[in-house]
Homo-oligomer: A and B are copies of this chain.
Amino acid sequence: MQHRFYGESIPFVSREEALKDANLRGYFSSAQTLADYAEVILHIKKKYSADSSPVIVFGGSYGGMLAAWFRLKYPHVALGALASSAPVLYFDNITPSNGYYTVVTKDFKESSESCYKTIKQSWFEIDKVAAKADGHSILQKKFNTCKPLEAATELKNFLDSLFSVAAQYDRPPRYPVDLVCKGIDSAPEGSDVLDRIFSGVVAYFGKKPCYNLDAFFSAETLEGWTWQTCSELVIPIGRGSNDTMFPAEPFDLKEYIEECKSAFGVPPRPHWITTYYGGHHFKEVLRRFGSNIIFSNGLRDPYSSGGVLENISDSILAVYTTKGAHCMDILPATIGDPDWVVLQRNIEIEIINGWILKYYQGLLENSS
């Protein structure tokens, strides 16, 4: 099912125009989307005379949050939810804001201590070169960028994304963290820190005529996601101190609010997600009223830092693997899948089977 304002589901006009219209974009929210899902599911049930057929919702990342929230808000429509890599606790200061980058750092350190150290040092080296008179052009040549560099930040943001994306999607067969680190560690004798980093870039992207620093951003999702994170989905990711391999850059809510205000004319609502869906005292509160939700995670996924990693009750369950990355369990199965992801999926299927069995048993008891 497609979320409003993504893909083809744009109201009347183009996404860009829709996002500029304060009235239209007001419908671009998680609550509206859940309502749409409820309408569609009930319509389908009616159309196919499947009124008492159980429905299990599932999704990954933001879609995983939506799945969990749907079960919480529409338990009469969906019997259960599989929420894969859903950082439902990464709101409103429940999770420490440097959780994401702490996991990225851990992933790289585990892959290679020297790789980790090289990356940690590289930011300082970039700044040092950038400070020179022809610094930007030196960096452009060193990293063979497709466009001239206008600021060192462009390069640093690109590398930040490279390492983050590698960690987030650190899955077979490529295992990009190892790939990047092998590039960095096996750079030719005499390479300096920045040569080594570039060697990591080449390892990730392969040999190319030049490297595009915008490679990680797709306008399709970026535009919509910017509105969502500037309205309700305020995920305070930052780097609070020097305990990661990245330069410290704490999340600054005040600055964040100002940026959103200048982009959209309205400030975001940083407490709304926890007000509407809960999150604070998650264990105590959800244990009491929630049921039938699987929170699945892979611990190499930086977003697992904001995920639910312990069982809350008999039917609010955490299923995680130490090796897994973002949303791996809900990717299509392939022959080469490692045993642990096959096992994770089988556990999920068995739990869901249990819910469905119990549901039908309940129907039977109440009809007799």
Residue positions of A touching B, CB distance < 8 A? 23, 31, 35, 38-39, 42, 52, 73-77, 271, 275-281, 283-286, 288-291, 362-363, 366
Contact = CB atoms under 8 A, between A and B. Distances in A.
24 contacts: A23-B23, A31-B31, A35-B275, A38-B276, A39-B275, A42-B271, A42-B275, A52-B281, A74-B276, A75-B278, A75-B289, A76-B277, A76-B278, A76-B280, A76-B285, A76-B286, A76-B289, A77-B278, A284-B362, A284-B363, A284-B366, A288-B291, A289-B289, A289-B291
B76 A35 contact: no
Nearest to A282: B76
A212 to B, nearest CB: 43
Contacts of A290: 289
A205 B280 CA distance: 54
A182 to B, nearest CB: 46
Nearest to A38: B275
Contacts of A73: 73
Contacts of A284: 362-363, 366
State how many copies of this chain the complex holds: 2
A278 B42 CA distance: 11
A41 to B, nearest CB: 9
**Lowest 8 CB-CB distances: which A-B pairs, in order?**
A76-B278, A75-B289, A76-B285, A38-B275, A42-B275, A284-B366, A289-B291, A39-B275
Contacts of A281: 52, 76
A339 B23 CA distance: 55
A284 B35 CA distance: 22
A284 B359 CA distance: 9
